[in-house]
Structure 1
Amino acid sequence: MINASQQAPESFGKIAVMFGGNSAERDVSIKSGTAVLQSLLEAGVNAHAFDPANKPLTDLLAEKYERVVIMLHGRGGEDGSLQGALQQLNIPYTGSQVLGSALCMDKIRCKQVWQSLGLSTAKYKIADKRSYDAGSCEAIMASLGNEVMVKPAQEGSSIGMAKVDTAQKLETAIQDAFKYDNKVLIEQFVHGSEYTVSILNGKALPSISMTTPRVFYDYAAKYQADSTVYSCPSGLSPDKETALAELALEAFDAVAGAGWGRVDFMQDKLGKFYLLEANTVPGMTEKSLVPMAAKQAGLSFTDLSLAILATSELLKGNEA
């Protein structure tokens, strides 16, 4: 069992649980933030809702908040910009700092770091809106095995993603992804099982496997469908579970992840794991994966919320 925070709830001071915002993931953020806020209040924390879409960050100082629990998913909350602003305001916050947040949010640069360290990740190409040539789709498909995932470089919750198997579909998917980002990741599709490993205070929680009858584990499969099947324990052998946990921790550390987060994988038919992406502010809804893994490790949702709050200690008294 992984221990939760040992601090007395009142010792954290006045807390802003920040959720909502203006990203494409606003609705999910509201669900995550509301759940965490409620659990912290039930635990006796002096916590309050704070939506940066409705009020300026300087209100944090005016209202004398002592820490921020970041539950903003996507841009403006998970990309390092909020983290930098809070550091300038000298207010400790949860999770990864500026560099880790920015690297994990950018799927392309994240993969490039992993690739440079020899960590296993699927082959890929990049489409840049400024220089993109639609005539390159045939060659891209051929080089990546004629079945690919298309992902905006800096969106989460599978927003703007598509799985395609022809050059014509690839062109359409790239143009759709360009609506969300000027750079698009085109990644070789790995046939196999999907896994995720949640990380809390430098330790890996039990892995989860996900299966869906949908084309892939998309937004609907994550937040809306009842047909998605989650297994925790995931069914991996003890050796495979240990290997996956070690890879998750190494990958998270490589991109300066800290405090808490989640790393996603595919496992091919031969049993090899491929890194997909890292998340520094994963979902905390009733369908989310981190609470599921925490429960398997013996932590209630409130235990988990308090442990996430305690990650703000990483910056307490060391905000520079």
Structure 2
Amino acid sequence: MNPADFGKVAVLMGGWSAEREISLLSGRAVLEALQRAGVDAHGVDAGRDVIGELQQGRYQRAFIVLHGRGGEDGVIQGALELIGLPYTGSGVMGSAIAMDKLVTKRLWRGAGMPTPDYQVLNRDADWSAVTSGLGMPLIVKPALEGSSIGMTRVESLDDLPAAYEQAATCGGAVFAERWVAGDEFTAAILGDEVLPLIRLETPRAFYDFEAKYKSDTTRYHCPSELDDAVEQRLRALAKQAFDAVGASGWGRVDLMLDRVGVAWLIEVNTVPGMTDHSLVPMAAKAAGIDFEELVLRILAQTLDHGERQ
């Protein structure tokens, strides 16, 4: 591909979500890779005036590296649709659905796809009934945050109200989910291809914010060391789950494999981390795709993205 074909590219990063600092790291990595490849790429810290900045700068397409609300939830996608600026990743609908973990689970459940049992929580919840229905331990999640922000593994009934309050500070719905004991995997998706699975291993209670971004004890296994037939089954399930929520272009699906070999879908990320140590670049490397080629392939999807959802 000819870098000149992309014209002037805005790499949208930062934003105003709780994941702003991670987005800045991802955005800088993408920007530097595009510039090394000869693309006329410019970093844009996406504030509330970002649309005016894009129009004034006469940008011809946008590489979205905004994590969380405002960037991964259909908001920026809808704004870019209004001004006719091609952009990377999922469209408005796919972004909005995938950002909401609760809506995603309801959609998967309605489609007959495997996702752990859950209960929506509020301050008046019958905590005993929640634990009776889901068992212990369980995990409490805010529906509208990424990077495991606001999530708590709960091991006793007495700790459940505090876990709810912590998740509720994030805004939006809060739910408790049955704990799945087993191995955690992530499937990176690039176009129609599911890249090699990564198996995540952490000594922490779960793959939380600390394990993702700060801990040096987290281990990543790629290849996953799964039997080939199991790997292919999980890859196919991940692609089915990605398509079901209307996601497109590129992204990541997180899933668990329990101790009896049953797979459980956890969530979809439509703008996952993109530093050179992040999971999608790691999976791409295992498939023989270096970071520079990866960002070019994602950007190339804007040249002919067809019908968006």
Q: Displacement, 1:310? A: 1.4
Deviation track 1:29-79 (CA, whole Å, cap 9, x = no partner) reads 000000000000000000000011274312211111000000000000000
Q: Displacement, 1:182? A: 2.9
Code of the residue aligned with 1:218 in structure 2: it is: D
User: For 1:210, what is the secondary structure of its paired residue?
Assistant: strand
What pairs up with 1:142-291 in 2 under 5 angstroms? Answer: 142-291=132-281
Code of the residue aligned with 1:107 in structure 2: it is: K
Deviation track 1:153-190 (CA, whole Å, cap 9, x = no partner) reads 01000000000012221110001100002311210000
Q: Displacement, 1:127? A: 1.6
Instruction: Give the equivalent residue in structure 2 for 1:312.
Output: 302
1:105 corresponds to 2:99: yes
Using the TM superposition, name which of 101-110 and 46-55 deviates more: 46-55
- The separation in 2 between residues aligned to 1:76 and 1:54, in whole angstroms, is 9
Code of the residue aligned with 2:150 in structure 1: it is: G
Q: Displacement, 1:287? A: 2.7
Choose which of 34, 44, 58 in structure 1 pairs with 2:28: 34
Instruction: Give the equivalent residue in structure 2 for 1:3.
Output: none
Choose which of 76, 86, 89 in structure 2 pairs with 1:92: 86
TM-score w.r.t. the length of structure 2 is 0.97
Q: Displacement, 1:314? A: 4.5
Code of the residue aligned with 1:257 in structure 2: it is: A
User: For 1:58, what is the secondary structure of its paired residue?
Assistant: helix
Contact kept, 8 Å, 1:148 with 1:165, in 2: the verdict is yes
1:133 corresponds to 2:127: no
Contact kept, 8 Å, 1:149 with 1:189, in 2: the verdict is yes
- The separation in 2 between residues aligned to 1:103 and 1:253, in whole angstroms, is 11
Code of the residue aligned with 1:181 in structure 2: it is: G
User: For 2:42, what is the secondary structure of its paired residue?
Assistant: strand
Deviation track 1:129-160 (CA, whole Å, cap 9, x = no partner) reads xxx314x1111011001211111001000000
- The separation in 2 between residues aligned to 1:168 and 1:46, in whole angstroms, is 55
User: For 2:51, what is the secondary structure of its paired residue?
Assistant: coil
1:76 corresponds to 2:66: no
1:49 corresponds to 2:43: yes
Instruction: Give the equivalent residue in structure 2 for 1:59.
Output: 53
- Give RMSD over aligned pairs: 1.4
User: For 2:302, what is the secondary structure of its paired residue?
Assistant: helix
Code of the residue aligned with 2:234 in structure 1: it is: L
Contact kept, 8 Å, 1:223 with 1:287, in 2: the verdict is no
User: For 1:64, what is the secondary structure of its paired residue?
Assistant: coil
* Contiguous gaps of at least 5 residues in structure 1: 1-6
Code of the residue aligned with 1:39 in structure 2: it is: A
Q: Displacement, 1:315? A: 4.1
- The separation in 2 between residues aligned to 1:46 and 1:20, in whole angstroms, is 20
Give runs of ≥4 in structure 1 deviating > 2 Å: 53-56, 313-316
Instruction: Give the equivalent residue in structure 1 for 2:19.
Output: 25
Code of the residue aligned with 2:60 in structure 1: it is: E
Deviation track 1:265-289 (CA, whole Å, cap 9, x = no partner) reads 1111001110000000000123310
Contact kept, 8 Å, 2:276 with 2:291, in 1: the verdict is no
- The separation in 2 between residues aligned to 1:309 and 1:185, in whole angstroms, is 35
- The separation in 2 between residues aligned to 1:56 and 1:17, in whole angstroms, is 11
User: For 1:27, what is the secondary structure of its paired residue?
Assistant: helix
- The separation in 2 between residues aligned to 1:312 and 1:106, in whole angstroms, is 25
- The separation in 1 between residues aligned to 2:260 and 2:6, in whole angstroms, is 47
State, as a whole percentage, how many aligned pairs show the same letter.
48
Contact kept, 8 Å, 1:90 with 1:319, in 2: the verdict is no
TM-score w.r.t. the length of structure 1 is 0.94
